[in-house]
Homo-oligomer: A and B are copies of this chain.
């Protein structure tokens, strides 16, 4: 169906069953190919990329709406999901849907509640809904042009990860069960947006006493097989309660 018609058709149901003026936008992070990535959608009528978003039902908890939207729009489920900021500037969605009638639901002023999700890459089965023409992971080193204020929402999510790195199970949620030390370092570098000295990183992360060195190493590859680690979940969770000691 044509995009314009699709939106207009959905509009009546949205006005009836959803809370006006309120939206949710999700920043889904993942770690893949040794880099931090973010999930983006392309709406059928746009050339720029957007974050997966949606609306809250009149009879629905906001947190539940975020879980539903993630699944409906991208197929992502069972991930670590955390509200991080609400975006309330008056003109934040200005110019979107300009060609539509003012009665269109999507043309309202929206105050958007931001959630970040941490997804273990191999667990995500990407799905594309009827509003999207593409769904794609973008490396943080190579971000596309975003629609509306979605770049601001993304930046705030990343800044939140940075601040919460010592208090939330961010590494655990993004990495596979078994990982190498260079992978963990790459993840930290991606979140912090800077290179870290290898020796310092190893010393510091081991001093946290939250890792278990496994009796196996990564098979394949030209180099010496690197050691595999996993998180000691009990120690990790206890350490997060107090906050991991020291900053990067």
Query: Chain A 30-61 against B: per-residue CB contact (8 Å), 1 yes, 0 no?
Result: 00000000000000000000000000101111
Which residues 138-173 in A have Cβ within 8 Å of B in the complex?
163-164, 166-167
Which residues 220-248 in A have Cβ within 8 Å of B in the complex?
242-247
- Oligomer copy total: 2
Complex-state Cα separation, A63 to B89, whole angstroms = 8
Which residues 71-115 in A have Cβ within 8 Å of B in the complex?
83, 85-86, 88-90, 109, 111, 113
Complex-state Cα separation, A112 to B60, whole angstroms = 15
A91 (CB) vs chain B CBs: closest residue: B61
Query: Chain A 183-214 against B: per-residue CB contact (8 Å), 1 yes, 0 no?
Result: 00000000000000000000000000000000
CB-CB under 8 A from A20, the residues of chain B are 20-21
CB-CB under 8 A from A124, the residues of chain B are none
Q: Are B111 and A88 touching (Cβ within 8 A)?
A: no
Instruction: Tell me if A22 counts as interface (CB < 8 A to partner B).
Output: yes
Complex-state Cα separation, A88 to B88, whole angstroms = 15
Chain A residues touching B, range: 20 to 34
Instruction: Tell me if A12 counts as interface (CB < 8 A to partner B).
Output: no
CB-CB under 8 A from A111, the residues of chain B are 19, 22, 56, 62
CB-CB under 8 A from A163, the residues of chain B are 163-164, 167, 243
Complex-state Cα separation, A11 to B235, whole angstroms = 53
User: Min CB distance, A184 to chain B, in Å?
Assistant: 20
Q: A21-B19, A21-B20 are in contact. Are A247 and B86 (CB under 8 A)?
A: no
CB-CB under 8 A from A62, the residues of chain B are 86, 88-89, 111
Contacting residue for A61 out of B83, B90, B242, B244, CB 8 A: B90
Could you pull out 27 A-B pairs where Cβ atoms are within 8 angstroms? A19-B21, A19-B109, A19-B111, A20-B20, A21-B22, A22-B22, A22-B111, A58-B109, A61-B89, A61-B90, A62-B89, A62-B111, A63-B88, A86-B86, A86-B113, A88-B113, A163-B164, A163-B167, A163-B243, A166-B247, A242-B247, A243-B247, A244-B247, A245-B246, A245-B247, A246-B246, A246-B247
Residues of A within 8 A of B (CB): 19-22, 56, 58-63, 65, 83, 85-86, 88-90, 109, 111, 113, 163-164, 166-167, 242-247
Given contacts A86-B86, A245-B247, 9 further A-B contacts (CB under 8 A): A19-B109, A20-B20, A61-B89, A62-B86, A62-B89, A62-B111, A83-B85, A86-B113, A163-B243
